[in-house]
Amino acid sequence: MEQILANGLYLGAQYALIALGLTLIFSLMNVLNFAHGQMYVMGGFVTYTVVAQFGLPFIVGLLASAVVLAVIGAVCERFLFRTVIKRSKREESTMLLAAGIAFFLDAVILLVFGEKQRGVPKIVDGVFNWDMRLIMPYDRILIGALAIAMVVGFILFMQYSRTGRAMRALAQDRMAAQLMGVDVDRYSMIGFALGAMLAGIVGGLLVTITGINLGMGGPTSVKAFLMIMIGGAGVISGAIAGGFILGMMESIGLTLLAAYGDVTYLAIFATLLVFLAIRPQGLMGKPWG
Amino acid sequence: MTTPKIPNSVPTSFGNSAASRPGSLGPARLAGVAAFLALVFVAVPLGIAASGRWDFYYTLTSVALLSIASAGVWLTFYIGRINIGQGAYALAGGYVSAVLITQVGMSFWLTLPLAGLACAGLAVLIGLPILRLRGVYFAMVTLVLTEVARLSALALPVTNGAKGITSIPLPGELSVLGLTIIPDFATLEDPKLAFYLVAVALMCLSYLALWRIVNSRLGHLCRSLQQNEELAASIGVNTAHLRVLAYAISSFFGGVAGAMFVSISQSIYPSSFQVADSVNFMLNCFLGGLGYVFGPMLGTLLLYFGWDLLFTTGQYQMLIYSSAMIVLMLVLPNGLLSLFDRKGGGK
């Protein structure tokens, strides 16, 4: 039991961080970022390159991932999404653009990093063992703790910094924020960069444990969508809740349902369908209209 | 060389239909339809026979089938929902057909409508709860649905897991009262041509049905859903019933396309239709233009052919393809057929 809970917490912390980036972009721009999973893979590969190829310390790799992805996010917003949102009749057109960017990033990753599974050596050795009831490698504990620290840092940033306040105003009511003198274009760009950066950081963190490969992008996006559906799209607390709930469900499901084969996600989806029938806006999302 | 001929001549016939009055069957529209039918049933086979590029049959058959599935996605767009779950229904339809043929020993031609109906029934069950969602919520849940379909195919005993169902026999003879309508495919010396003709005929039927739906009372009601669901409900439109109906029709198309695909490849695996396929079905609709019945057909043709033609660029295929898509989105965010907007006023 302790083992299941610990695994769930560890998974949940990672998931929450992925969902946070996606929900931030969604709340600011009303864009569903299909390329989120690819950004995560990109972050993993950047860390891998810096750590395993150049032999630099892990923290440098993590920083490099954050910077590279922030730049990619900012460029996507400034030159692609902003233009399309202005010209398009239906705002769903941004989905095609996001999907195009997802394919593009996949192509870039394939050309630059190749299709092989990559990983970096363990950053800390040893296994935590509490009386055989709870066994967990130290590096997982470290990564989990780092992820939780990031989530806390992100909440504090959104709550107390000037930029965070501007972004929250933007998410609440774009027009009103603009009338109050918030530079809407600038903060949209910062928000997108921040969302992409979070995806990159998770990629960088997880490359030390599960490794990274080209095919992980799509499934990661799907999981991120699941999380923000559970929690409610565009709400920060919802993304965190969704991440931890999915992490727990996956951890419990993998243990209890292992006897029946690979049916965990089927069970999760069936539960989600029932849940959405009762509460379509998710746990903490706002109802429409 | 037939390559330039096909993409060039198709948009003109679409242009005619987009430009004429919606719903009316004027001489210009009839001529356009006749030209299109002559093109796909006579000119293309003749052109391929003359040039010897038999591989184009496979490409064009795929385009025809994918555009049937895209037509379904387009219909859900028509009621204002973004459907990224068509891959799930294509997979389900494929498995229904494959299981019925291999385990029950049913004729393929009987399983084709049954696959569609099974998918429509499934869509009613799944659609009842999820169609209450809107916008990105619906989009996300349908995307997850595709992934779930793949996982179900892996987990269920009847689907034979990751090994899939292989060596499915070719479609047999279809006869009514002793009169052979479609001969046994195994006895044909050129099943490629036969598959092409069947696929194109199915595509024409699907788009005829779609066009008929859009220009009927049902279509008008769907349009009211697209614009404002609350307002439509307030003046007495049964929105819940209507959206489930539209979703079921959409999934019917997906199931038929999936079943037909299975009979061509003679095999099906859980990975036959994936998230990427679902996304592509949606992209086809976007690319062609969401305001036009024939948009998804054009979008499928361009995306599939574009992808195929870029094959020669090797490892840069994906890079060029996705860049072209992004650029197209920047220049024409409302779809290719929006080029005709000034002439026809849109529909």
The residues pairing with B180 across neighbouring beta strands, listed in sequence order, are B175
Each residue's pLDDT tens digit, B227-252? 888 888 888 888 889 999 999 999 99
C-beta atoms of A107 and B282 within 8 A: no
pLDDT digit of tens for each residue in chain A (289 aa)? 788 888 888 889 989 999 999 999 988 888 888 899 999 999 999 999 999 888 888 899 999 999 999 999 999 999 888 888 888 777 777 888 888 899 899 889 988 888 888 888 877 777 887 777 777 888 888 888 999 999 999 999 999 999 999 998 888 888 898 898 889 899 999 999 999 999 999 999 988 888 888 888 888 888 888 888 888 877 888 899 999 999 998 888 888 877 666 678 788 888 887 887 788 788 887 765 3
Q: How far is B47 from chain A (nearest CA, A)?
A: 33
Element containing residue A129 per DSSP (H, E): strand A127-130
How does DSSP classify residue B273? S
The residues pairing with B182 across neighbouring beta strands, listed in sequence order, are B174
Query: Does B268 have pLDDT greater than 80?
Result: yes
Long-range contacts of A89-92 (CB under 8 A, 24+ apart): A89/B333, A89/B334, A90/B290, A90/B334, A91/A30, A92/B82, A92/B139, A92/B286
Across the interface, of A107, A218, A226, the residue whose CB is closest to B276 is A218
For residue A162, count other CB atoms closer than 10 A to its CB.
7
Task: Specify the pLDDT at position A36.
Answer: 92
Residue B297 C-beta-side C-alpha neighbours within 13 Å: 24
Chain B residues whose beta carbon lies within 8 Å of the beta carbon of residue A277 = 128-130, 132
Element containing residue B176 per DSSP (H, E): strand B174-176
Of B99, B89, B46, which Cα lies nearest the Cα of B69? B89
Residue whose tokens read 């006023």 = B345
Chain B residues whose beta carbon lies within 8 Å of the beta carbon of residue A88 = 333-334
Q: At what angle do helices B44-51 and B55-78 cross, to 10 degrees?
A: 150
Residue B129: CB partners within 8 Å, gap ≥ 6? A273, A274, A276, A277
C-beta atoms of A93 and B126 within 8 A: no
On average, the pLDDT of chain B sits at: 81
Query: Does B143 have pLDDT greater than 70?
Result: yes
Buried b / exposed e over A244-274, threshold 16 CB at 10 Å, is bbbbbbbbbbeeeeeeeeebbbbebbeebbe
The answer to whether residues A103 and A222 touch, using CB atoms and an 8 Å cutoff, is: no
How does DSSP classify residue A286? P
Task: Specify the pLDDT at position A283.
Answer: 84
- Determine which of B303, B329, B337, B347 to mutate to test the interface with A (most A C-beta atoms within 10 Å): B329
Q: Which amino acid type is present at position B102? A: T
Across the interface, of A26, A89, A263, the residue whose CB is closest to B334 is A89
Under the banding of pLDDT at 50, 70 and 90, the label for residue B14 is very low
Query: Does B11 have pLDDT greater than 60?
Result: no
Tokens of B291: 């305001």
Domain parsing of chain A, residue ranges: 14-215
Q: Could you tell me the maximum CA-CA distance found in chain B, to the nearest angstrom?
A: 59
C-beta atoms of A80 and B319 within 8 A: no
Chain B residues whose beta carbon lies within 8 Å of the beta carbon of residue A101 = 322, 326
Tell me if residue A90 falls in helix, strand or coil: coil
Of A61, A44, A67, A42, which Cα lies nearest the Cα of A194? A67
Cα-atom radius of gyration of chain A, to the nearest Å? 19
- Determine which of A96, A101, A246 to mutate to test the interface with B (most B C-beta atoms within 10 Å): A96
Q: How far is A133 from chain B (nearest CA, A)?
A: 31
Each residue's pLDDT tens digit, B281-340? 888 888 887 778 888 888 888 888 888 888 777 778 888 888 888 888 788 777 777 776
Task: Specify the pLDDT at position B177.
Answer: 65
Residue B233: CB partners within 8 Å, gap ≥ 6? B239
Each residue's pLDDT tens digit, A228-267? 888 887 788 889 999 999 999 888 888 887 766 667 878 8
Under the banding of pLDDT at 50, 70 and 90, the label for residue B6 is very low
The answer to whether residues A59 and A219 touch, using CB atoms and an 8 Å cutoff, is: no
Residue whose tokens read 């996949």 = A106
Q: How far is A16 from chain B (nearest CA, A)?
A: 17
Across the interface, of A26, A95, A280, the residue whose CB is closest to B133 is A280
Q: Percent of chain B at pLDDT above 70? A: 88
Long-range contacts of B105-113 (CB under 8 A, 24+ apart): B107/B171, B107/B172, B107/B174, B108/B169, B108/B170, B108/B171, B108/B172, B108/B263, B109/B171, B109/B172, B109/B174, B109/B182, B111/B259, B112/B256, B112/B259, B112/B260, B113/B256
Q: Which CATH number fits domain B5-344: 3.10.129, 1.10.3470, 1.10.540, 3.10.450?
A: 1.10.3470
Q: Which of A89-93, B57-61, B146-150, B233-237 is predicted with the least confidence, judged by mean pLDDT?
A: A89-93
The answer to whether residues B304 and B180 touch, using CB atoms and an 8 Å cutoff, is: no
Task: Specify the pLDDT at position A268.
Answer: 85
Across the interface, of B230, B316, B330, the residue whose CB is closest to A83 is B330
Chain pair A-B, CB pairs under 8 angstroms: 135
C-beta atoms of A99 and B283 within 8 A: yes
C-beta atoms of A272 and B283 within 8 A: no
Q: How far is B119 from chain A (nearest CA, A)?
A: 18
Task: Specify the pLDDT at position A119.
Answer: 82
Chain B residues whose beta carbon lies within 8 Å of the beta carbon of residue A265 = 147-148, 151
The residues pairing with A130 across neighbouring beta strands, listed in sequence order, are A134
Task: Specify the pLDDT at position B89.
Answer: 94
The answer to whether residues B197 and B191 touch, using CB atoms and an 8 Å cutoff, is: no
Of B118, B32, B119, which Cα lies nearest the Cα of B72? B119
Residue whose tokens read 């084709």 = B112
Residue with more model confidence, B40 or B119: B119
Tell me if residue B177 falls in helix, strand or coil: coil
Q: At what angle do helices B295-309 and B5-19 cross, to 10 degrees?
A: 160
Task: Specify the pLDDT at position B24.
Answer: 60
Handedness of CA B284, B286, B287, B288 (dihedral sign): positive
Q: Distance (Å, rounded) from C-alpha A197 to C-alpha A205?
A: 12
The DSSP annotation for A145-177 comes to: HHHHHHHHHHHHHHHHSHHHHHHHHHHH-HHHH
Q: Percent of chain B at pLDDT above 90? A: 16
The answer to whether residues A58 and A123 touch, using CB atoms and an 8 Å cutoff, is: yes
Choose from A85-89, B25-29, B204-208, B306-310 the range with maximum mean pLDDT: B204-208
Residue in B closest to A229 by C-alpha: B137
Give Cα separations from A161 to A153, A157, A166, A167, A187 (angstroms).
11, 5, 9, 10, 13
Tell me if residue A125 falls in helix, strand or coil: coil
C-beta atoms of B319 and A108 within 8 A: yes
- Whether the ipTM is more than 0.95: the answer is no
Across the interface, of A100, A262, A272, the residue whose CB is closest to B325 is A100
Residue with more model confidence, A103 or B174: A103
Under the banding of pLDDT at 50, 70 and 90, the label for residue B342 is low
Element containing residue A98 per DSSP (H, E): helix A93-113
Query: Does B164 have pLDDT greater than 90?
Result: no
Across the interface, of A222, A260, A263, the residue whose CB is closest to B144 is A222
